[in-house]
Amino acid sequence: MTVSSRSALIEALASGRPEELLDTAESAWLDFKTAPYALNTDKGKFELCKDVAAFANAQGGLLVCGIAAAKHSDRAVEVATKLHPFPRERADVDKYIDTLNDYLRPRVMITHHWYQDHARSTAETAAYYLVIEVEPAPEADRYVIVRRMLNDKGMLADGLAIPLRHGDRTVYLPSEDAYRLINEGLRGRETLSGLSGLPHDGLQEEADQSLETLQRLQDWDDVPVLLWQSIPPRPVQVLEGLHSDDGVRGALRNQDVLWPTGFNFQDSTGRLRTHEGGLFIGHNRCAIWVQPNGVMTAGAIATPAMLCWAMDQRGRPERLSTYVLTEMTLEYFRLADQVVVPRVPGTWRHRISARRFAGDRPRRLGPGGTGASSFLSDGSPASMDVWDRSWPALADPERDAYEALRNIYALFGVDVDTNPDVDGGRVLTQHFRTR
C-alpha cells in the first residue's frame, strides 16, 4: 500500500501505520531519509540546508526521517523500502533550525512533528519518525540560497548554491540563470529608483510614525536617543501570538536576558501594558513596543542614565559606553529575531536611528572599549544630528546586532571592528554570558 498525499502520509504515521508508506515514491513534495541529518559533519549540515532550500524554492514539501528509499528496477524514481525509526535524542531539531538560519538566505519557515512507532519501540527505547515540513518561500523572496558549499574535501567553504526540487530529485539552478536573475534584479532596482526592498508603503509610514510616538510617550523629545526598529515584509491585522503567554507577551514578561542586572529591556517591575492594541514596556531610560501590525520599536536615551552609563564619572558624560551600546543592541535583536520576526515569513527590515546626537554637546564614540583603563580623549563627535539606516534582516541576533553597530559607528567615523565584543561580523553573546 502507498500514500498519495501529505494528509494521507501524516494520517498513516499518526495512526501507527507506517507500513502504509512502503513503496511510496519520492516526489516534488516528498523526500525520505534513512537516518536523521548528522550535524556533526559538514556534509550533514549541507544536506539539511540543500534539501530544505530545494523544497522552499518549489512548492514546499515533507522530509521524512527514518524511512529508507531506493530505486526499483522497474521504476525510475526512488520508493520507500524499509522502516528505520530512531530514538528522538538522535535529532536535535533546535540545532537543525540554528543551522538553517546560519546557512540559508533568506530565512525559511519549517515545522516538525515526531511520530512514535510503537511496534518497533522497546521498553528501553522509544522509536520515532521525524517529519520536517518546509514552507515554500514567498515569491518576492525567491530564490533561497545555501551560502556555503562542500569543497572537494567534503568541507564547507565559501560559495553559494541555489537548490531546486525537480520531480523526485534535487537539482541546482545553473550559473547562467543565477547571473540572469542578478542582472534582472539590478535593472529592476534602477527602475524603481532605489526603492526596491523597502517595506510595504503603508507599513513604512506607520514605522516612521512609531519612532515619533515612542519618543513622545517617553517624553524624549529633547533628549539624545537611539532607536531600533524591525519592519515586517507585509502588514498583518494582529501579529500571531501577540497576547499569548507562550507567545510575544510571555517572552516580554519573562525575558531571557544575557545578564540579570545588565542593560536590557526586561520587565522587572511589572510595567508591561497594552498600548494601541500592542505591547509596551516603558522605563525612564529605555522602552520597547510591539504593535499589532508587527512593527517592533525600541529606544534608549544617550545619557549617563543609559547609553552613556558611568561616563560622567570619568568626565565624559556625552560619550557612549561601548559596552552598554553593544549589550542593548544585542538584547534588542535577541527579542526581535527570536520572538517577533519568525511570526511573519519573508524578509524583514531592521533599522537603527539616532536623534539629537549633534548640537552643542554632541554624543561621542571612540575605538576600542570604554573600561576603566581605556583612553577616552580619542572619542569622535557624531557627524549628524539625525542618522537613519536600515538593512534586510538576517534573522540572526549576533549578525543583526553587528549590522546595527556597523551603521551607528559610521555616524562617528569609527571602525566597528575595534569594538572588543565584535568578531567575524558578529557580536559575541558569550562575552556577555561569562562576564
Instruction: Return the closest-CA partner of residue 1 out of 107, 111, 74, 79.
Output: 79
Note whether 71 and 156 are same-domain residues. Answer: yes
Note whether 184 and 228 are same-domain residues. Answer: no
The rounded distance, in Å, linking the Cα atoms of 340 and 8 is: 33
Note whether 185 and 274 are same-domain residues. Answer: no
Note whether 95 and 156 are same-domain residues. Answer: yes
pLDDT band at 189 (very low <50, low <70, confident <90, very high): very low
**What residues contact residue 8 under an 8 Å CB cut-off, 6+ apart?**
none
Looking at residue 426, its amino acid is R
**What residues contact residue 239 under an 8 Å CB cut-off, 6+ apart?**
248, 290, 291, 292, 293, 294, 340, 343, 344
Tell me whether residue 1 is in a domain.
no
The rounded distance, in Å, linking the Cα atoms of 223 and 237 is: 33
pLDDT of 292 strictly over 90: yes
Tell me whether residue 196 is in a domain.
no
Q: Which residue has the cell 553573546?
A: 429
- Domain tally, the chain: 2
Note whether 141 and 228 are same-domain residues. Answer: no
Note whether 332 and 300 are same-domain residues. Answer: yes
Asked whether the beta carbons of 293 and 235 are under 8 A apart, the reply is yes
Structure confidence at residue 424 (pLDDT): 86
Note whether 185 and 234 are same-domain residues. Answer: no
The rounded distance, in Å, linking the Cα atoms of 76 and 60 is: 22
Note whether 261 and 358 are same-domain residues. Answer: yes
Structure confidence at residue 222 (pLDDT): 94
Asked whether the beta carbons of 126 and 116 are under 8 A apart, the reply is yes
Of 136, 168, 191, which one is at a domain's C-terminal end?
A: 191
Lowest mean pLDDT among 146-150, 202-206, 214-218: 202-206
Average pLDDT (208-213) is: 95
Structure confidence at residue 184 (pLDDT): 64
DSSP label at residue 136: P
Q: What percent of the chain has pLDDT over 70?
A: 92
Tell me whether residue 216 is in a domain.
yes
User: Mean pLDDT of all residues in the chain?
Assistant: 89
**Phi first, then psi: what are they for 257, rounded to 5°?**
-80, 160
Instruction: Return the closest-CA partner of residue 396 out of 102, 47, 175, 60.
Output: 102
Tell me whether residue 184 is in a domain.
yes
Of 191, 210, 240, which one is at a domain's C-terminal end?
A: 191
Please compute Rg for the chain using Cα positions.
25
Note whether 84 and 166 are same-domain residues. Answer: yes
Note whether 107 and 242 are same-domain residues. Answer: no
Average pLDDT (395-414) is: 94
Which residue range forms the structural domain that includes residue 391? 201-433
Note whether 44 and 154 are same-domain residues. Answer: yes
pLDDT, tens only, 335-386: 999 999 999 988 899 999 999 999 889 999 999 888 765 555 678 999 999 9
Report H helices in 258-347. 322-335
Can you give the CATH number for the domain in which 63 is found?
3.30.950
The rounded distance, in Å, linking the Cα atoms of 367 and 365 is: 7
pLDDT of 185 strictly over 70: no
Structure confidence at residue 204 (pLDDT): 85
Residue 132 CA, distance from chain mean position? 19
pLDDT, tens only, 152-170: 888 999 888 999 988 888 8
Structure confidence at residue 130 (pLDDT): 97
Average pLDDT (165-183) is: 79
The rounded distance, in Å, linking the Cα atoms of 309 and 318 is: 10
Note whether 331 and 386 are same-domain residues. Answer: yes
